[in-house]
């Protein structure tokens, strides 16, 4: 039609339709690797500072903010259920529940170690420091999923919630820490004033971690097949955030990179997530039997 009777409006409309079709095609491709009930649900995201004291603890808090901003930008809600503040600044660890469509399916791409290189604001000599923080992501398990937990395997401790002070800090021992003896998994919750509510949330976090552990066992062989492209173990360094001597964020699994560091730290991580999910799609295609 355009060749026979040139029409700028028609061409613009066709270009817009093509862009929409490409976006829908990409969305459907991603759904190929989000084919489980867990992928469509909520995510339990934990951030833990690595060795390095206040510098790594500040980096962990920066990552926590990044994921909170990502959730906000995608219409998800995020709820901080536990946080262990650093001595001087930042956090030693924190757990966030991100609720929204396919929150786990997308955020599972963030599992691994994140590396920051910058001039430390905590160094009076303005030296460059390298910091590490790990991110773990588990699916929030539905109450309909049966996870057997033996009460005798649990050690439950209660303590006073920690915080920066003010009227919202608990003055009673309402925070709850649960240790699962057989696996060594430890979960905490301190966001509610009620010890009962904190205990219920902590048990839900434990169920999510135990479910993840079982799923990892079942997927062990698949992970071995695809390990070259999608390593997500604690020891893997999946992404570097360089603020000095140049500015760049690079994902080491996909080689995706950008110089817009500020946007990334403000939650704009979709390009990295999408690139990783595409590697999963390609890996599945490669693993299909020929013929």
Cα(188)–Cα(93) distance, integer angstroms: 10
Of the chain, the end-to-end C-alpha distance in Å amounts to 40
pTM reported for the whole predicted model: 0.77
Interval 9-42: pLDDT, tens: 777 888 788 877 876 776 666 667 787 788 989 9
pLDDT of residue 2: 55
Q: With 50 as the cut, is the pLDDT of residue 95 above it?
A: yes
Q: Where in the chain is the domain with CATH 3.30.70.1660?
A: 33-140+230-291
Q: What DSSP assignment string belongs to 218-276?
A: HTHHHHHHHTTT---STT-EEEEEE-SSS-EEEETTT--EES-HHHHHTT--HHHHHHH
Per the listing, tokens 């929204």 go with 100
Q: Where in the chain is the domain with CATH 3.30.160.20?
A: 147-218
pLDDT of residue 18: 82
User: pLDDT confidence of 288, banded at 50, 70, 90?
Assistant: low
Q: With 70 as the cut, is the pLDDT of residue 51 above it?
A: yes
pLDDT of residue 221: 52
CATH 3.30.950.10 for domain 33-140+230-291, yes or no, is no
When the candidates are 3.30.160.20, 3.40.50.970, 3.30.70.270, 3.40.630.30, the CATH number that belongs to 147-218 is 3.30.160.20
Handedness of CA 86, 90, 92, 95 (dihedral sign): positive
Inter-helix orientation angle 8-32/270-287, to 10°: 60
- Which residues, in sequence order, are CB contacts of 170 under 8 Å at separation 6+? 160, 161, 190, 193
Q: With 50 as the cut, is the pLDDT of residue 171 above it?
A: no
């Amino acid at each position: 039609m355009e060749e026979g009777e040139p029409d700028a409006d028609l061409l613009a409309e066709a270009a817009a339709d093509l862009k929409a079709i490409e976006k829908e095609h990409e969305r459907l491709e991603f759904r190929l690797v989000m084919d489980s009930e867990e992928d469509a649900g909520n995510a339990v995201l934990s951030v833990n500072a690595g060795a390095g004291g206040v510098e790594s603890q500040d980096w962990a808090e920066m990552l926590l903010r990044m994921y909170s901003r990502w959730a906000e930008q995608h219409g998800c809600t995020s709820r901080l259920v536990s946080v262990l503040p650093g001595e001087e600044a930042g956090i030693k660890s924190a757990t966030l529940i991100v609720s929204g469509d396919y929150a786990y399916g997308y955020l599972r791409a963030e599992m691994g170690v994140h590396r920051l290189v910058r001039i430390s604001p905590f160094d009076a000599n303005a030296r460059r420091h390298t910091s590490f923080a790990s991110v773990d992501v588990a699916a929030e398990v539905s109450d309909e999923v049966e996870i057997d937990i033996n009460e005798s395997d649990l050690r439950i401790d209660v303590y006073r919630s920690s915080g920066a002070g003010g009227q919202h800090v608990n003055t009673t021992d309402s925070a709850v820490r649960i240790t699962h003896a057989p696996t060594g998994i430890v979960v905490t919750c301190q966001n509610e004033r009620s010890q009962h509510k904190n205990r219920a949330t902590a048990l839900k976090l434990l169920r999510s971690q135990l479910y993840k552990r079982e799923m990892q066992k079942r997927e062990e062989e698949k992970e071995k097949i695809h390990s070259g492209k999608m390593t997500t173990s604690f020891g893997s360094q999946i992404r570097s955030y360089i603020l000095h001597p140049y500015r760049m964020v690079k994902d080491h699994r996909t080689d995706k990179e950008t110089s817009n560091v500020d946007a990334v730290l403000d939650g704009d991580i979709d390009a990295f997530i999408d690139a990783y999910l595409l590697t999963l799609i390609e890996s599945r295609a490669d693993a299909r039997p020929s013929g």
